[in-house]
């Protein structure tokens, strides 16, 4: 299920692909392995922000001291038609068993993966599982306990706009780099590597550059509230804004990847756009749960207050009794379900309310 939206250029914050990378290499030497841009939806207007430091939070230095041993640099090597290539990103220790969280786009297609720890030592890693729908991946390493001090996950649903944050990682191969800023906005949407939507993403002005992908975004208590993933910038650098996958998504997906090597997502099978009444369905995919349940897509458009919106189809206003006021809310509500769940979807159809029962399917590997 995807939202129809205006698209703006965004860069994966992390793949640095080159031969013989060095810390002194110029920015021009770093190229993204995947040349497809990703996108973000602007949904929240940022109000006045608070300073990054508050009386009840740890200092940036204290957050660094608590966290730096858990943040790693990841190098993923692959053989392509053009020869051997190396991609560099970041990650963090998730548990004492040696699991490390990073971005899917950092390790995609890798034939070998290595992890560089805080003391400069490097160890081989094994790919545990990836989820292109959320751009998350888990690898694991066999390392002494002294190297496996996991970071704690926070609750991304309790994060406030204006709260201070710290980003850690290895931009341009400069391991152990720390930047700080604030939560600039919440409930953004990023496009995942397989073109599905990552909901509830966190926007930050903490500087994030190529190589930061997979590294943690930490709150003022040193808890992980997001995994840094993308940058929106005209130059592709930190002069723009960064986006992180929320920790509540990380918690759910990583547990599945560790258990089975893959993650399943509930699937409705529609495209939609936010309208004043809720989420208007603009496309119903053939053979999907939405089509089987009889949901209807728009057949035309109409103009309200100078804005052109879909008409002639269903507008979703409730899901299992929960009010739906936007396409993002509908996406998040479906994401919270499991494949095989039966849900009640209330729609406005020709001005009348109607409730349909939908049995959710399993999201395909890639969105159209």
* pLDDT tens figures, 355-367: 999 999 999 999 8
Q: Which of 201, 213, 238, 332 is catalytic?
A: 213
The number of angstroms, rounded, from the C-alpha of 247 to the middle of its chain's C-alpha atoms is 9
What average pLDDT does this structure show over 206-226? 96
Lowest-pLDDT range of 43-47, 227-231, 235-239, 243-247: 43-47
Question: How far is residue 100's CA from residue 150's CA, in Å, rounded to a whole number?
Answer: 9
Question: How far is residue 204's CA from residue 217's CA, in Å, rounded to a whole number?
Answer: 9
* pLDDT tens figures, 329-347: 999 999 999 999 999 999 9
Question: What was the pLDDT predicted at 270?
Answer: 97
Lowest-pLDDT range of 54-58, 153-157, 203-207, 273-277: 54-58
Average pLDDT, the chain: 86
pTM for this prediction: 0.84
The DSSP code sequence of 327-363 is HHHHHHHHHTS-TT-EEEEEEEETTEEEEEEEE-EE-
- Any catalytic annotation for residue 105? yes
Q: Which of 86, 90, 105, 332 is catalytic?
A: 105
Q: Are strands 99-103 and 342-349 parallel, antiparallel or unpaired?
A: unpaired
Q: What angle do CA 188, 359, 352 make, to 5 degrees?
A: 75
* Domains, the chain, with CATH or none: 1-261 (2.40.10.120), 266-362 (2.30.42.10)
Question: How far is residue 341's CA from residue 335's CA, in Å, rounded to a whole number?
Answer: 11
Question: What was the pLDDT predicted at 13?
Answer: 61
Q: Is the pLDDT of residue 249 over 80?
A: yes
> Could you tell me the pLDDT band of residue 79, with boundaries at 50, 70 and 90?
confident
Q: Which of 90, 114, 131, 135 is catalytic?
A: 135
1 half-sphere exposure, CB direction, 13 A CA radius: 28
Lowest-pLDDT range of 59-73, 142-156, 226-240, 251-265: 226-240
Q: Which residues contact 122 (CB under 8 A, 6 or more apart)?
A: 114, 115, 116
Query: Nearest CA to 301 among 280, 330, 270, 276?
Result: 280
What average pLDDT does this structure show over 108-132? 97
Q: Which residues contact 3 (CB under 8 A, 6 or more apart)?
A: 41, 189, 197, 271, 272, 273, 274, 327, 328, 331
Who wins on pLDDT, 249 or 23? 249
């Amino acid at each position: 299920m995807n939202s129809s939206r205006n698209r703006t250029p965004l860069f994966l914050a992390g793949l640095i692909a080159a031969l013989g990378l060095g810390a002194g290499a110029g920015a021009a030497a770093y190229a993204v392995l995947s040349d497809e841009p990703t996108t973000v939806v602007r949904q929240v207007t940022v109000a006045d922000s608070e300073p990054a430091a508050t009386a009840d939070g740890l200092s940036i230095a204290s957050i660094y001291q608590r966290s730096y041993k858990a943040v790693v640099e990841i190098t993923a090597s692959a053989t392509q038609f053009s020869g051997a290539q190396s991609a560099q990103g970041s990650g963090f220790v998730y548990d004492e068993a040696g699991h490390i969280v990073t971005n899917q786009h950092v390790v995609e297609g890798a034939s070998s993966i290595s992890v560089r720890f805080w003391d400069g030592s490097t160890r081989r890693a094994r790919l545990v599982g990836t989820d292109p729908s959320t751009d998350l991946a888990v690898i694991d390493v066999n390392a002494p306990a002294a190297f496996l001090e996991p970071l704690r996950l926070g609750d991304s649903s309790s994060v406030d706009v204006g709260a201070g944050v710290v980003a850690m990682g290895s931009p341009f191969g400069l391991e152990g780099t720390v930047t700080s800023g604030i939560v600039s906005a919440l409930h953004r949407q990023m496009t995942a590597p397989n073109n599905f939507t990552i909901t509830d993403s966190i926007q930050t002005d903490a500087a994030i550059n190529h190589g930061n992908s997979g590294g943690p975004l930490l709150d003022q208590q040193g808890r992980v509230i997001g995994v840094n993933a993308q940058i929106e910038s005209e130059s592709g650098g930190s002069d723009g804004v960064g986006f992180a996958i929320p920790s509540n998504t990380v918690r759910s997906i990583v547990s599945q990847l560790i258990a089975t090597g893959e993650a399943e997502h509930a699937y409705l099978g529609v495209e939609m756009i936010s309208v004043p009444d809720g989420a208007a369905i603009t496309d119903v995919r053939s053979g999907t749960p939405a089509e089987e349940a009889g949901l209807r897509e728009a057949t035309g458009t109409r103009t309200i207050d100078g804005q052109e919106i879909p008409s002639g189809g269903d507008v979703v206003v409730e899901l299992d009794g929960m009010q739906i006021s936007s396409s993002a809310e509908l996406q998040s509500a479906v994401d919270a379900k499991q494949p095989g769940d039966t849900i009640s979807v209330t729609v406005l159809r020709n001005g009348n309310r109607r409730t349909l029962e939908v049995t959710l399917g399993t999201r395909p590997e890639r969105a159209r």
